[in-house]
Chains A and B, each alone.
Chain A
């Protein structure tokens, strides 16, 4: 399959925000103030914050749907201000909350939009559409010729994703892409997008107002506060472990330790040795998150668990004290 080749060499680009400022006329407070950060190639950077934090504005300056007043944004070292705006947008995948599929075009034609603009041959567009329909978990036979109105909300957003990826963009911008979906569909699409991203390694800027989604999706999180000021930019683990200030601490929530535990699985930490002792307490799979392991211990009224691998072999023990000690360690020192 041609996509395999494209996938493995799939290129991504570093995105640099350099002192980016945006003021809307007639507003006293800037929408985005002196924003500077670097998104390494192939990572997902989540912009999160309360409304009025300028996260969508910041994202839309990357493909210049919003003009940059001061500063610059570089994609792969090239200033977006120096690029032809139409060419720029065709290289940047764009996914929005309400999807915005073209109602008068079939699924395949929606997906083929940018390739058509780029003048790909018809055969290649057709083939690419089929591959992408499959890639996002739909059935090419059943859905290729369907119109958007014939799809569920979740299916529509899958097509939205496929359309954004059609021309193999360097960068993808996603504006609350799963925000309009029911919780179950949202979780499923989040998981599938993470799986896809693992394969494709695009650089993604992902906007959400939901801190849990940010923690789940982000390799890095940029927390913006009122006026588009960057409050903290770091990995989810570091932000949860050491919030930069009260605003961030309040925004991530009082349960940030639990959220931190949810980031890791038992298989990723150093477990206590079994020491040949009789196993006590319930057994759990090594793929359980630390948060779920803690919940289990609390629920069962026990202070430790026996961890088993996929084959059911006992591989170690984990206790409440062990988890508490892990949380106390500085970020980055947790055994993986």
Chain B
């Protein structure tokens, strides 16, 4: 297989004339300082914000589709135990493939497209989501299920009213890992096609312009932290019971 030469090796190191006044860069940017706030302000609108939104879109689509597949597979494995091992093995196999290699493997089939990126990212979410959803469903105590059956809940009612609500903390824990992992992995996607925060990171690395690289990486980290925080909040809102403890002995 031929290895395409990526932007890392392709471009010569350059100190770009970013954000400077007409006639040339000055100050922090000219010195190629570690982090130049001027540049960030000047290029929020044309570099950082559009890439951030692309990145968010890549992540939401990947986790959404990954969740739908993993959820269906986990529900099936919950009823049909035999299905757990093959799906686990398959998703663990996907998980072990190095991300650059996986994207590269897909290119001959789906080209240098967003589709290639999404297929790869979805693949990485499956193991975590499948395991967590299945664990959540299985964590429902036996006596709770026995009581539910004994009270005349149908199988469907038990799933919707008992098992899924009780699995929610485990499911949301899986979602948090999947979201943070996908945000991080999606930066590699720019290797295939210039989308998301990976693009300025690659560009910053290739041109040796430190601020672009540092600012974008920081933005990716911030995105991961904010997304994780929102998921924690959502979980707390939907599972007030999970924190309920006896008030008095």
Contacts and interface: CB of A to CB of B under 8 A. Distances in A.
Interface stretch (B65-73, B114-122, B152-160, B223-231): B152-160
Pick the most buried of B143, B145, B152, B240: most chain A CB atoms within 10 A of its CB: B152
B79 interface: no
B166 interface: yes
B153 A104 contact: no
Given A99-B143, A100-B143, A117-B153, A149 B241 contact: yes
B151 A90 contact: yes
B46 interface: no
A216 interface: no
A311 B214 CA distance: 91
B239 interface: yes
Contacts, number: 77
A97 B241 CA distance: 22
Interface in B142-181: 143-154, 157, 162, 165-166
Interface in A54-96: 63, 65, 85-90, 92, 94, 96
A103 interface: yes
Q: Is chain B's binding surface mostly helix, strand, loop or mixed?
A: helix
Contact of A151 (B146, B241, B246): B246
B237 interface: no
A88 B149 CA distance: 11
Contacts of A98: 141, 143
A147 interface: yes
Interface string B210-244: 00000000000000000000000000000111101
Nearest to B154: A86
Contact of B146 (A96, A146, A150): A96
Given A100-B141, A100-B143, A150-B247, A105 B148 contact: no
A41 to B, nearest CB: 21
B35 to A, nearest CB: 46
Contacts of B41: none
Interface string A144-157: 00110111100000
A101 interface: yes
Pick the most buried of B141, B143, B147, B154: most chain A CB atoms within 10 A of its CB: B147
B245 interface: yes
Nearest to A164: B151
Contacts of A150: 244-247
B78 to A, nearest CB: 18
B241 A63 contact: no
A113 interface: yes
Q: For chain A, give the interface size range.
A: 20 to 34
A96 to B, nearest CB: 6
Nearest to A97: B143
Pick the most buried of B146, B151, B245: most chain A CB atoms within 10 A of its CB: B151
Contacts of A152: 246
Nearest to B249: A152
A94 B147 contact: yes
A113 B161 CA distance: 10
A103 B150 contact: no
Contact of B152 (A88, A96, A173): A88
Contacts of A86: 152, 154
Interface string A241-284: 00000000000000000000000000000000000000000000
A148 to B, nearest CB: 8
15 contacts: A63-B150, A86-B152, A88-B152, A94-B150, A96-B147, A96-B150, A99-B143, A100-B148, A102-B148, A104-B166, A113-B151, A114-B151, A146-B244, A147-B241, A173-B150
Interface of A: 63, 65, 85-90, 92, 94, 96-105, 113-114, 117, 146-147, 149-152, 160, 163-164, 173
8 closest A-B pairs by CB = A100-B147, A89-B152, A94-B150, A90-B152, A147-B244, A100-B143, A98-B143, A104-B241
